[in-house]
Amino acid sequence: MSRTPALLVTGADLAGGGAGDVLVVDGTLRAVGPDAAAEAPAGVQRLDADGLVLLPGLVDLHTHLREPGREDAETVETGSQAAAVGGFTAVLAMANTTPVTDTAEVAETVHDLGRRAGYVDVHPVGAVTKGLAGEELAELGLMARSRARVRVFSDDGRCVHDARLMRRALEYVKTFDGVVSQHAQDPRLADGTACCHEGELSGRLGLPGWPAVAEETVVARDVMLARHTGSRVHVAHVSTAGSVEVVRWAKAQGIAVTAEVTPHHLMLTEAEVAGYDPTFKVNPPLRPHEDTLALREALADGTIDAVATDHAPHVRQDKEHAFADAAFGMLGLETALPVVSTVMVAEGLMTWADVARTMSTTPARIARLSDQGQGLAVGAPAHLTLVDPTRSHTVDRALSRSLSRNNPWHGRRLTGAVHLTMLRGRVTAREGLVWGADS
Protein backbone atom coordinates (compact mmCIF):
# COMPACT_ATOMS: atom_id res chain seq x y z
CA MET A 1 0.00 0.00 0.00
CA SER A 2 1.64 3.21 -1.18
CA ARG A 3 1.63 6.52 0.62
CA THR A 4 -0.13 9.43 -1.06
CA PRO A 5 2.74 11.97 -1.28
CA ALA A 6 0.59 15.08 -1.58
CA LEU A 7 -3.16 15.64 -1.82
CA LEU A 8 -5.24 18.81 -2.01
CA VAL A 9 -8.82 18.32 -0.81
CA THR A 10 -10.91 21.20 -2.11
CA GLY A 11 -14.32 22.54 -1.14
CA ALA A 12 -15.07 20.22 1.77
CA ASP A 13 -17.15 21.28 4.75
CA LEU A 14 -14.44 21.28 7.42
CA ALA A 15 -16.09 19.42 10.30
CA GLY A 16 -19.20 21.54 10.02
CA GLY A 17 -17.25 24.80 10.07
CA GLY A 18 -17.82 25.81 6.47
CA ALA A 19 -16.17 25.07 3.13
CA GLY A 20 -12.40 25.08 2.81
CA ASP A 21 -9.37 23.32 1.41
CA VAL A 22 -6.86 21.00 3.09
CA LEU A 23 -3.38 20.22 1.86
CA VAL A 24 -1.80 16.92 2.91
CA VAL A 25 1.96 16.53 2.45
CA ASP A 26 4.17 13.78 3.88
CA GLY A 27 1.41 12.45 6.12
CA THR A 28 0.55 15.72 7.85
CA LEU A 29 -1.79 18.65 7.31
CA ARG A 30 0.43 21.26 5.68
CA ALA A 31 -2.29 23.89 5.20
CA VAL A 32 -5.96 24.31 6.07
CA GLY A 33 -8.26 27.00 4.69
CA PRO A 34 -8.35 29.41 1.75
CA ASP A 35 -4.56 29.55 1.31
CA ALA A 36 -4.08 25.78 1.12
CA ALA A 37 -4.09 25.69 -2.69
CA ALA A 38 -1.41 28.37 -2.87
CA GLU A 39 0.95 26.20 -0.81
CA ALA A 40 0.37 23.06 -2.86
CA PRO A 41 3.42 21.68 -4.69
CA ALA A 42 3.41 21.37 -8.46
CA GLY A 43 1.56 18.33 -9.74
CA VAL A 44 -0.34 17.81 -6.48
CA GLN A 45 -3.19 15.33 -6.66
CA ARG A 46 -6.56 17.06 -6.23
CA LEU A 47 -9.76 15.73 -4.74
CA ASP A 48 -12.93 17.73 -5.33
CA ALA A 49 -14.92 17.37 -2.08
CA ASP A 50 -17.72 19.82 -2.81
CA GLY A 51 -20.78 18.67 -0.84
CA LEU A 52 -18.73 16.37 1.39
CA VAL A 53 -17.83 16.77 5.07
CA LEU A 54 -14.23 16.37 6.19
CA LEU A 55 -13.73 15.02 9.72
CA PRO A 56 -10.67 14.05 11.72
CA GLY A 57 -10.24 10.28 11.58
CA LEU A 58 -12.71 8.41 13.77
CA VAL A 59 -11.52 6.67 16.93
CA ASP A 60 -13.37 3.68 18.43
CA LEU A 61 -12.94 3.07 22.13
CA HIS A 62 -14.56 -0.36 22.07
CA THR A 63 -13.80 -2.94 19.36
CA HIS A 64 -13.63 -6.71 19.60
CA LEU A 65 -11.11 -8.03 17.08
CA ARG A 66 -11.15 -11.61 18.47
CA GLU A 67 -7.49 -12.30 17.62
CA PRO A 68 -5.77 -14.14 19.20
CA GLY A 69 -8.02 -17.13 19.70
CA ARG A 70 -11.14 -16.66 17.58
CA GLU A 71 -9.79 -15.95 14.15
CA ASP A 72 -12.83 -17.72 12.69
CA ALA A 73 -14.98 -14.76 13.80
CA GLU A 74 -12.53 -11.90 13.13
CA THR A 75 -8.85 -11.14 12.79
CA VAL A 76 -6.98 -7.95 13.46
CA GLU A 77 -6.60 -7.54 9.70
CA THR A 78 -10.25 -8.08 8.76
CA GLY A 79 -11.47 -5.97 11.67
CA SER A 80 -9.01 -3.24 10.69
CA GLN A 81 -10.35 -3.30 7.15
CA ALA A 82 -13.92 -2.99 8.44
CA ALA A 83 -12.81 -0.08 10.60
CA ALA A 84 -11.16 1.71 7.69
CA VAL A 85 -14.27 1.30 5.54
CA GLY A 86 -16.25 2.77 8.43
CA GLY A 87 -14.06 5.87 8.60
CA PHE A 88 -11.93 4.88 11.59
CA THR A 89 -8.22 5.54 11.86
CA ALA A 90 -7.77 4.05 15.34
CA VAL A 91 -9.50 1.32 17.33
CA LEU A 92 -9.06 -0.01 20.83
CA ALA A 93 -9.10 -3.81 20.82
CA MET A 94 -10.82 -5.29 23.86
CA ALA A 95 -9.09 -7.77 26.12
CA ASN A 96 -11.45 -10.78 26.01
CA THR A 97 -9.28 -12.73 23.58
CA THR A 98 -7.82 -16.23 23.97
CA PRO A 99 -5.44 -15.92 25.70
CA VAL A 100 -6.78 -12.88 27.50
CA THR A 101 -4.85 -9.64 26.97
CA ASP A 102 -3.69 -9.57 30.58
CA THR A 103 0.09 -9.55 30.00
CA ALA A 104 2.51 -7.30 28.18
CA GLU A 105 3.30 -10.13 25.76
CA VAL A 106 -0.27 -10.51 24.54
CA ALA A 107 -0.74 -6.75 24.37
CA GLU A 108 2.35 -6.42 22.20
CA THR A 109 1.13 -9.25 19.97
CA VAL A 110 -2.13 -7.41 19.26
CA HIS A 111 -0.26 -4.15 18.78
CA ASP A 112 2.13 -5.75 16.29
CA LEU A 113 -0.68 -7.42 14.36
CA GLY A 114 -2.30 -4.02 13.96
CA ARG A 115 0.90 -2.43 12.68
CA ARG A 116 1.37 -5.30 10.24
CA ALA A 117 -2.17 -4.91 8.87
CA GLY A 118 -1.69 -1.16 8.52
CA TYR A 119 -5.26 -0.02 7.91
CA VAL A 120 -5.85 1.64 11.31
CA ASP A 121 -3.87 2.14 14.49
CA VAL A 122 -4.75 -0.79 16.77
CA HIS A 123 -4.34 -0.12 20.49
CA PRO A 124 -4.88 -3.10 22.79
CA VAL A 125 -7.05 -2.69 25.88
CA GLY A 126 -5.58 -4.52 28.86
CA ALA A 127 -7.62 -6.72 31.18
CA VAL A 128 -8.20 -5.35 34.67
CA THR A 129 -7.98 -8.81 36.24
CA LYS A 130 -6.07 -11.95 35.36
CA GLY A 131 -8.05 -14.10 33.00
CA LEU A 132 -11.02 -11.70 33.42
CA ALA A 133 -11.75 -13.74 36.54
CA GLY A 134 -12.32 -10.74 38.81
CA GLU A 135 -10.03 -12.07 41.54
CA GLU A 136 -6.53 -10.63 41.05
CA LEU A 137 -5.21 -7.58 39.20
CA ALA A 138 -3.56 -8.25 35.85
CA GLU A 139 -0.13 -6.91 34.87
CA LEU A 140 -1.37 -3.33 34.57
CA GLY A 141 2.01 -1.67 34.98
CA LEU A 142 3.85 -4.02 32.63
CA MET A 143 1.22 -3.52 29.94
CA ALA A 144 1.45 0.24 30.40
CA ARG A 145 5.25 0.16 30.04
CA SER A 146 5.22 -2.23 27.08
CA ARG A 147 5.66 -0.97 23.52
CA ALA A 148 1.87 -1.21 23.23
CA ARG A 149 1.64 1.59 25.85
CA VAL A 150 -1.70 0.36 27.18
CA ARG A 151 -3.70 3.12 28.86
CA VAL A 152 -7.22 1.67 28.87
CA PHE A 153 -8.10 -1.39 30.95
CA SER A 154 -11.35 -3.34 30.94
CA ASP A 155 -12.79 -6.75 31.75
CA ASP A 156 -15.50 -5.99 29.20
CA GLY A 157 -18.02 -8.76 28.98
CA ARG A 158 -17.64 -9.09 32.73
CA CYS A 159 -18.02 -6.53 35.47
CA VAL A 160 -15.26 -5.79 37.97
CA HIS A 161 -17.84 -6.32 40.69
CA ASP A 162 -15.53 -6.52 43.71
CA ALA A 163 -15.43 -2.94 45.05
CA ARG A 164 -12.04 -3.36 46.74
CA LEU A 165 -10.49 -4.74 43.56
CA MET A 166 -11.99 -1.90 41.52
CA ARG A 167 -10.57 0.60 43.97
CA ARG A 168 -7.11 -0.94 43.67
CA ALA A 169 -7.31 -0.87 39.89
CA LEU A 170 -8.25 2.82 39.91
CA GLU A 171 -5.40 3.62 42.26
CA TYR A 172 -2.92 1.67 40.13
CA VAL A 173 -3.81 3.19 36.75
CA LYS A 174 -3.71 6.69 38.22
CA THR A 175 0.09 6.40 38.47
CA PHE A 176 0.42 6.45 34.66
CA ASP A 177 -2.77 8.38 33.76
CA GLY A 178 -4.67 5.27 32.71
CA VAL A 179 -8.39 4.68 32.85
CA VAL A 180 -10.58 1.73 33.82
CA SER A 181 -13.47 1.11 31.43
CA GLN A 182 -16.22 -0.66 33.33
CA HIS A 183 -18.77 -3.12 31.99
CA ALA A 184 -21.45 -2.14 34.51
CA GLN A 185 -23.44 -5.27 35.32
CA ASP A 186 -24.01 -6.38 38.89
CA PRO A 187 -23.88 -10.19 38.55
CA ARG A 188 -26.30 -10.67 41.42
CA LEU A 189 -28.93 -8.51 39.74
CA ALA A 190 -28.24 -9.67 36.18
CA ASP A 191 -26.40 -12.97 35.97
CA GLY A 192 -25.08 -14.79 32.93
CA THR A 193 -28.53 -15.99 31.89
CA ALA A 194 -29.99 -12.45 31.68
CA CYS A 195 -30.45 -11.68 28.01
CA CYS A 196 -33.26 -9.15 27.56
CA HIS A 197 -34.30 -5.91 29.23
CA GLU A 198 -36.36 -6.79 32.30
CA GLY A 199 -39.90 -5.60 31.79
CA GLU A 200 -43.23 -6.47 30.29
CA LEU A 201 -41.69 -7.75 27.05
CA SER A 202 -39.20 -10.09 28.74
CA GLY A 203 -42.04 -11.52 30.83
CA ARG A 204 -44.21 -12.08 27.78
CA LEU A 205 -41.35 -13.70 25.83
CA GLY A 206 -40.24 -15.82 28.77
CA LEU A 207 -36.66 -14.52 28.62
CA PRO A 208 -34.47 -13.93 31.70
CA GLY A 209 -34.52 -10.23 32.51
CA TRP A 210 -31.56 -7.80 32.69
CA PRO A 211 -32.87 -4.89 34.83
CA ALA A 212 -31.66 -1.32 34.41
CA VAL A 213 -30.70 -1.15 38.06
CA ALA A 214 -28.03 -3.82 37.53
CA GLU A 215 -26.16 -1.26 35.43
CA GLU A 216 -27.02 1.85 37.41
CA THR A 217 -25.85 0.62 40.81
CA VAL A 218 -22.41 -0.26 39.47
CA VAL A 219 -22.09 3.10 37.72
CA ALA A 220 -23.03 4.87 40.96
CA ARG A 221 -20.49 2.86 42.97
CA ASP A 222 -17.71 3.42 40.48
CA VAL A 223 -18.08 7.18 40.22
CA MET A 224 -17.82 7.34 44.01
CA LEU A 225 -14.68 5.19 43.88
CA ALA A 226 -13.27 7.50 41.22
CA ARG A 227 -13.93 10.47 43.49
CA HIS A 228 -12.31 8.70 46.43
CA THR A 229 -9.18 7.71 44.49
CA GLY A 230 -8.92 10.80 42.31
CA SER A 231 -8.62 8.48 39.33
CA ARG A 232 -10.41 8.20 36.00
CA VAL A 233 -13.29 5.82 35.31
CA HIS A 234 -15.00 5.29 31.98
CA VAL A 235 -18.47 3.78 31.68
CA ALA A 236 -18.73 1.45 28.71
CA HIS A 237 -21.90 1.16 26.59
CA VAL A 238 -24.27 3.20 28.79
CA SER A 239 -27.79 1.93 28.11
CA THR A 240 -30.25 3.42 30.63
CA ALA A 241 -31.68 6.80 31.53
CA GLY A 242 -30.75 6.14 35.14
CA SER A 243 -27.08 5.69 34.27
CA VAL A 244 -27.20 8.96 32.34
CA GLU A 245 -28.45 10.75 35.45
CA VAL A 246 -25.69 9.27 37.59
CA VAL A 247 -23.01 10.34 35.09
CA ARG A 248 -24.55 13.80 34.80
CA TRP A 249 -24.51 14.19 38.59
CA ALA A 250 -20.93 12.92 38.84
CA LYS A 251 -19.69 15.39 36.24
CA ALA A 252 -21.41 18.22 38.08
CA GLN A 253 -19.41 17.19 41.16
CA GLY A 254 -16.15 17.34 39.22
CA ILE A 255 -15.58 13.58 39.30
CA ALA A 256 -13.32 12.27 36.52
CA VAL A 257 -15.91 10.12 34.76
CA THR A 258 -16.46 9.67 31.04
CA ALA A 259 -19.04 7.56 29.24
CA GLU A 260 -19.74 6.06 25.84
CA VAL A 261 -22.87 4.98 24.00
CA THR A 262 -23.15 2.50 21.14
CA PRO A 263 -24.86 3.25 17.82
CA HIS A 264 -27.28 0.39 18.43
CA HIS A 265 -28.41 1.79 21.77
CA LEU A 266 -29.02 5.13 20.06
CA MET A 267 -31.34 3.70 17.42
CA LEU A 268 -32.65 0.24 18.34
CA THR A 269 -35.03 -0.62 21.18
CA GLU A 270 -36.15 -3.74 23.00
CA ALA A 271 -38.96 -4.09 20.44
CA GLU A 272 -36.41 -5.71 18.09
CA VAL A 273 -36.26 -8.69 20.43
CA ALA A 274 -39.95 -9.56 20.00
CA GLY A 275 -39.13 -11.86 17.07
CA TYR A 276 -36.49 -13.80 19.04
CA ASP A 277 -33.86 -12.90 16.43
CA PRO A 278 -30.49 -13.54 18.15
CA THR A 279 -28.88 -10.86 15.99
CA PHE A 280 -30.38 -8.41 18.48
CA LYS A 281 -29.02 -10.13 21.56
CA VAL A 282 -26.45 -7.74 22.99
CA ASN A 283 -24.97 -6.94 26.39
CA PRO A 284 -26.20 -4.63 27.84
CA PRO A 285 -29.53 -5.37 26.20
CA LEU A 286 -31.54 -3.08 23.97
CA ARG A 287 -33.70 -0.92 26.21
CA PRO A 288 -37.15 0.74 25.99
CA HIS A 289 -37.72 3.78 23.79
CA GLU A 290 -37.55 6.20 26.71
CA ASP A 291 -34.00 5.06 27.46
CA THR A 292 -33.03 5.52 23.82
CA LEU A 293 -34.34 9.08 23.90
CA ALA A 294 -32.38 9.80 27.09
CA LEU A 295 -29.19 8.47 25.51
CA ARG A 296 -29.62 10.67 22.45
CA GLU A 297 -30.17 13.73 24.61
CA ALA A 298 -27.15 12.90 26.77
CA LEU A 299 -24.88 12.46 23.76
CA ALA A 300 -26.10 15.75 22.32
CA ASP A 301 -25.57 17.73 25.53
CA GLY A 302 -22.17 16.21 26.33
CA THR A 303 -23.15 14.11 29.34
CA ILE A 304 -22.14 11.09 27.27
CA ASP A 305 -18.71 11.82 25.84
CA ALA A 306 -18.27 9.41 22.98
CA VAL A 307 -19.82 6.99 20.52
CA ALA A 308 -18.18 3.56 20.64
CA THR A 309 -19.20 0.64 18.46
CA ASP A 310 -18.81 -2.42 20.72
CA HIS A 311 -18.19 -4.21 17.41
CA ALA A 312 -18.66 -7.86 18.40
CA PRO A 313 -18.34 -10.35 15.52
CA HIS A 314 -19.55 -13.94 15.93
CA VAL A 315 -19.57 -16.95 13.63
CA ARG A 316 -22.94 -18.38 12.65
CA GLN A 317 -22.74 -21.38 14.95
CA ASP A 318 -22.42 -19.06 17.96
CA LYS A 319 -25.36 -16.87 17.00
CA GLU A 320 -27.83 -19.25 15.38
CA HIS A 321 -29.34 -20.64 18.57
CA ALA A 322 -32.44 -20.03 20.61
CA PHE A 323 -32.27 -16.41 21.79
CA ALA A 324 -31.38 -17.28 25.39
CA ASP A 325 -28.50 -19.53 24.27
CA ALA A 326 -26.98 -17.35 21.53
CA ALA A 327 -23.82 -15.30 21.95
CA PHE A 328 -24.08 -11.61 22.85
CA GLY A 329 -23.03 -8.97 20.34
CA MET A 330 -23.43 -7.38 16.92
CA LEU A 331 -21.28 -5.76 14.24
CA GLY A 332 -20.80 -2.01 14.27
CA LEU A 333 -17.61 -0.64 12.71
CA GLU A 334 -18.83 -0.11 9.15
CA THR A 335 -22.20 1.35 10.13
CA ALA A 336 -21.42 3.55 13.16
CA LEU A 337 -21.05 6.80 11.25
CA PRO A 338 -24.17 6.28 9.10
CA VAL A 339 -26.24 5.40 12.20
CA VAL A 340 -25.07 8.52 14.04
CA SER A 341 -25.70 10.57 10.90
CA THR A 342 -29.22 9.17 10.56
CA VAL A 343 -30.38 9.33 14.16
CA MET A 344 -28.49 12.37 15.44
CA VAL A 345 -27.40 14.68 12.59
CA ALA A 346 -30.34 14.23 10.23
CA GLU A 347 -32.72 14.74 13.16
CA GLY A 348 -31.01 17.99 14.15
CA LEU A 349 -29.72 16.72 17.49
CA MET A 350 -26.04 17.08 16.55
CA THR A 351 -23.88 18.94 14.05
CA TRP A 352 -20.91 17.53 12.16
CA ALA A 353 -18.69 19.39 14.62
CA ASP A 354 -20.38 17.35 17.35
CA VAL A 355 -19.70 14.16 15.40
CA ALA A 356 -16.01 15.09 15.21
CA ARG A 357 -16.02 15.68 18.97
CA THR A 358 -17.81 12.47 19.98
CA MET A 359 -16.26 10.12 17.43
CA SER A 360 -12.70 11.44 17.15
CA THR A 361 -11.28 14.11 19.43
CA THR A 362 -12.88 13.04 22.72
CA PRO A 363 -12.32 9.28 22.29
CA ALA A 364 -8.67 9.98 21.48
CA ARG A 365 -8.37 12.14 24.59
CA ILE A 366 -9.98 9.50 26.82
CA ALA A 367 -7.59 6.84 25.51
CA ARG A 368 -4.60 9.23 25.65
CA LEU A 369 -3.84 8.73 21.95
CA SER A 370 -1.61 11.72 21.22
CA ASP A 371 -1.35 10.86 17.52
CA GLN A 372 -5.12 10.78 16.95
CA GLY A 373 -8.06 13.16 17.31
CA GLN A 374 -6.07 16.37 16.84
CA GLY A 375 -8.67 17.86 14.55
CA LEU A 376 -8.15 19.67 11.26
CA ALA A 377 -5.18 21.73 12.40
CA VAL A 378 -1.94 22.57 10.58
CA GLY A 379 0.78 20.16 11.65
CA ALA A 380 -1.63 17.44 12.78
CA PRO A 381 -1.23 13.91 11.41
CA ALA A 382 -3.36 13.45 8.31
CA HIS A 383 -5.93 11.10 9.84
CA LEU A 384 -9.01 12.06 7.83
CA THR A 385 -12.53 10.83 7.16
CA LEU A 386 -14.48 12.25 4.23
CA VAL A 387 -18.24 11.80 4.48
CA ASP A 388 -21.08 12.14 1.99
CA PRO A 389 -23.80 13.47 4.34
CA THR A 390 -26.74 13.04 1.97
CA ARG A 391 -26.03 9.66 0.45
CA SER A 392 -28.66 7.08 1.44
CA HIS A 393 -27.89 3.39 1.21
CA THR A 394 -29.38 0.08 2.27
CA VAL A 395 -27.07 -2.03 4.42
CA ASP A 396 -26.16 -5.42 2.97
CA ARG A 397 -24.40 -7.72 5.41
CA ALA A 398 -22.88 -9.72 2.54
CA LEU A 399 -20.69 -6.72 1.69
CA SER A 400 -19.12 -6.46 5.13
CA ARG A 401 -15.35 -6.63 5.44
CA SER A 402 -15.80 -8.48 8.74
CA LEU A 403 -15.55 -12.25 8.72
CA SER A 404 -18.86 -12.40 10.59
CA ARG A 405 -22.39 -11.54 9.52
CA ASN A 406 -24.27 -10.73 12.75
CA ASN A 407 -25.23 -7.32 11.38
CA PRO A 408 -28.34 -5.73 12.97
CA TRP A 409 -28.55 -3.09 10.24
CA HIS A 410 -29.02 -5.52 7.34
CA GLY A 411 -31.80 -4.26 5.07
CA ARG A 412 -32.08 -0.88 6.81
CA ARG A 413 -31.71 2.38 4.93
CA LEU A 414 -29.25 4.81 6.49
CA THR A 415 -28.28 8.35 5.49
CA GLY A 416 -24.64 9.39 5.40
CA ALA A 417 -21.77 7.34 4.03
CA VAL A 418 -18.00 7.30 4.41
CA HIS A 419 -16.45 8.37 1.13
CA LEU A 420 -12.77 8.08 2.01
CA THR A 421 -10.51 7.28 4.97
CA MET A 422 -6.89 8.38 5.27
CA LEU A 423 -4.28 7.26 7.80
CA ARG A 424 -1.15 9.43 8.01
CA GLY A 425 -1.70 10.74 4.51
CA ARG A 426 -2.37 7.35 2.96
CA VAL A 427 -5.82 6.38 1.68
CA THR A 428 -6.93 3.18 3.42
CA ALA A 429 -10.51 2.92 2.17
CA ARG A 430 -12.64 4.60 -0.47
CA GLU A 431 -16.37 4.15 -1.13
CA GLY A 432 -16.56 0.79 0.59
CA LEU A 433 -13.36 -0.60 -0.88
CA VAL A 434 -10.20 -1.23 1.08
CA TRP A 435 -7.41 0.65 -0.63
CA GLY A 436 -4.62 -1.72 -1.51
CA ALA A 437 -6.66 -4.87 -0.87
CA ASP A 438 -9.30 -4.06 -3.48
CA SER A 439 -7.51 -1.57 -5.74
* Active centre residues (catalytic): 310
Please report which helix (H) or strand (E) contains residue 150, including its range: none
Could you tell me where the DSSP H helices lie in 270-361? Answer: 289-301, 316-319, 336-340, 352-356
Q: Provide the 8-state DSSP code for 53.
A: E
Which helix (DSSP H) or strand (DSSP E) does residue 417 occupy?
Answer: strand 413-423
Contact 19, 51 (CB under 8 A): no
User: Using an 8 Å Cβ cutoff, are 307 and 87 in contact?
Assistant: no
Q: Whole-angstrom Cα distance, residue 271 to residue 286?
A: 8
Answer for the pair 366, 179: CB distance below 8 angstroms, yes or no. yes
Cα(362)–Cα(258) distance, rounded to whole angstroms?
A: 10
Is 185:214 a contact under the CB 8 Å cutoff? Answer: yes
Angle at 261 between CA 257 and CA 265, to 5 degrees: 150
Tell which residue, 158, 159, 182, has the closest CA to residue 170.
Answer: 182
Q: From residue 296, how far is each of 290, 302, 305 by CA, in Å?
A: 10, 10, 11
Measured CA angle at 57 (ends 387, 311), to 5 deg:
90
- Identity (one letter) of the amino acid at 386? L
Q: Return the number of other C-beta atoms located less than 10 Å from residue 100's C-beta.
A: 20
Query: What are the b/e assignments for 102-124, b being 16+ CB within 10 Å?
Result: bbbebbbbbbebbeebbbbbbbb
